[in-house]
Structure 1
Amino acid sequence: FFYFLQVLTLNSNRVSSLSGLKQPSLECLELNDNNISYLIQVPSHNYNKNYCNEKIACPNLSTLALSRNALDTVEEFVVLFSKLRILYLSYNKIGKLNGLGDLQNLSRLHLRGNQISDLDGFTDNLKYLSYLNLRENHLSDVKELNKLACLKSLKTLVVSDNDFSEISIRSKVLKLLPWLERVDKGTVSKAELEKSDENPQEYEEEEDQEDEE
């Protein structure tokens, strides 16, 4: 291996797996537009740490770009790349976010264009996560956004182009996550925050009505 290699770009190269990648100094890896459906081929999807580390060793990787591949899980990342800070996974086939909360150093997470319908997986372990893009997924129940209330460092949330029935859910997002500075493409204004605080129980009442119906 190249011991001092810090940045590696392999976009659009028909790469199908990361098995054999051992770069101790690598900090940034770009693998967009490839054919990756798993990082390594693990028997029965049993992500044993020792087995995985025999296949890939990039202990200092902090930025990983895997947009436009065929990944359907994030579980491998937890075992292989515990120091990740920035993760690009747009336009894959991810439906579940099991294990995501163990990526404790994440600050930016891009999940646009996947198959996510629920937000299980987010935990208060993600204490540095400040940017989250969930655009173009299958979110339809605004109550799922409650599961992001544990992300106290979150500043930017993108949830446009989902399946929410509301024409605009911006006000509801701000009721749930009043510390946000940006929702979708718009910066949150002081007036918006004040308006969302005017009727703090409004959202809860709407939820109760929905439950009764």
Structure 2
Amino acid sequence: MSDEDDLDDFEPELEKEEDEKETEEWEDYKKEGEEFSEEWMPVPLTENMMKEGLSLLCKTGNGLAHAYVKLELKDRDLTDINLLHSYIHLRYVDISENHLTDLSPLNFLTHLLWLKADSNQLRTARLNELPYLQIASFAYNQITDTEGISHPRLRSLDLKGNHIHMVTGLDPQKLNSLHTLELRGNQLESTLGINLPKLKNLFLAQNLLKKVEGLENLSNLTTLHLRDNQIETLNGFSMEMKSLQYLNLRGNMVSDLGELAKLRDLPKLRALVLLENPITDETDYRQEALVQMAHLERLDKDFYEEEERIEADEIRQRIKEEQEQEAEPEHDLELDQPLV
């Protein structure tokens, strides 16, 4: 696949859909939050509910036996799923939109591949190591930390809309398959603790971040979302982030054009979003971004035109010549000094 094909992922239309989705999900989350304080009547999982929710008959074990491996129990007002511990062949489980506080019965489901437990009342995502789990979603709960997540084949982890202040316990040795981490809409005050070198997509929008730190070694990261935080400077980016293509800093507090130079060392950065930052009010904002990052293809929602590239090239050349001229007199001065 060419670089031009990859850029399709960053089309403005896609970004517009993403903006609308973020707003809609956030409003739903706030409504759900108002219900968290209610007392729920106990509703345990029953065999009848299991019969209604089970599907996808597959071979198990040595191939001579069969079992249903998919379970959908969405929006059943469940408070207890203890019955699940005996359904050890389950591979796909959706228990979202219930009133669950305990997922420990899932520890017995060692064949689990896919888990969705969104919109419950969970305070932790901690589970025993599940050897085959690849996708796990715990969005819109009341989770306060990232401890106890150590599934070796986990590829995508969704923790958006929780109450996480710091990322801790994510061991890169155990989570060596994780490529997508969603932490949007938490209360993160730092980006420390996300030292996951295999990570490709990181979503940190709608938090309380004031700076970027501890991400310098994410050499496989291609997409980084930091929208709607409180970031003022563009420190924390390095040449080691050699795969980063898309950076969204919309709705932050960057005000100095000089900060753009700090993104110069990102060799593959092609799409940058800085809408709703004070810096966008500067007259030379768009031009300065291209002067600092010659490889940039899109700023905010607009692609650069050829005329803009030519002008940016001329400015870079002029700056280079001025710097060389400034260095020459100093050199001449040293030659003119009398010998002692």
Q: TM-score, normalised by structure 1?
A: 0.83
- Deviation, 1:197, is 2.6
Could you say which residue in structure 1 is the equivalent of 2:312?
A: 196
**Where does 1:30-179 land on structure 2 (aligned, <5 Å)?**
30-40=158-168, 53=171, 57-78=174-195, 81-164=196-279, 165-167=281-283, 169-179=285-295
Equivalent pair of 2:150/2:170 in contact (CA under 8 Å): no
Aligned AA (1:16): T
Could you say which residue in structure 2 is the equivalent of 1:187?
A: 303
Stretches (4+) displaced over 6 A: none
In the alignment, the residues of structure 1 paired with residue 132 and residue 171 of structure 2 have an alpha-carbon distance, to the nearest angstrom, of: 19
In the alignment, the residues of structure 2 paired with residue 52 and residue 92 of structure 1 have an alpha-carbon distance, to the nearest angstrom, of: 19
- Deviation, 1:168, is 6.0
Larger radius of gyration: 2
Which sections of structure 2, spanning at least 5 residues, go unmatched? Answer: 1-128, 323-340
Q: TM-score, normalised by structure 2?
A: 0.53
3-state SS of 1:75 partner: coil
Aligned AA (2:159): L
Cα deviation per residue 1:72-99 (whole Å; 9 max; x = unaligned)?
Answer: 1112001xx2211110000111112222
Structure with the higher fraction of residues in helix conformation: 2
**Where does 1:198-213 land on structure 2 (aligned, <5 Å)?**
198-200=314-316, 201=318
Change in 2 beyond 3 A, CA 1:188/1:57 = same
3-state SS of 1:29 partner: strand
3-state SS of 2:310 partner: helix
* Larger RCO of the pair (alpha carbons < 8 Å, separation 6+): 1
Identity %: 36
In the alignment, the residues of structure 1 paired with residue 160 and residue 284 of structure 2 have an alpha-carbon distance, to the nearest angstrom, of: 32
Equivalent pair of 2:167/2:192 in contact (CA under 8 Å): no
3-state SS of 1:103 partner: coil
